Amino acid sequence: MPLNQLNAQQVRGHAIFQASCSQCHDDRDSDALHGPSMLGIFKQQYLPSGAPANDDRVRVVIQEGHGMMPAINLGSQDTQDLIAYLHTL
């Protein structure tokens, strides 16, 4: 979804993605950086880890990390905003 079509929550999530995730994950290209691309992450049945692609699993990965990905210390609202943004990809 084009950035100019995001709602306020998704815009906040985009800013969080840029600050906390974009060093390792791409959100506009399917190529992997240090970690897998997030493009279409919720359009697939499973995450790259093999876990179901749903809000609960993504929340756990953000908060606890997985494999090489460190835990990201975000508040509850920031995590919800980030997940709302990931749904637009």
Domain ranges of the chain: 3-86
Q: Which amino acid is at 25?
A: H
| % the chain with pLDDT above 70 | 100
pLDDT of residue 65: 93
Distance between CA 30 and CA 65 in Å, rounded?
Answer: 21
Which tokens go with 61?
């990965």
CATH topology of domain 3-86: Cytochrome Bc1 Complex; Chain D, domain 2 (1.10.760)
pLDDT band at residue 31 using 50, 70 and 90 as cut-offs: confident
pLDDT of residue 14: 97
pLDDT of residue 2: 86
Distance between CA 60 and CA 71 in Å, rounded?
Answer: 9
* Mean pLDDT across 66-80: 94
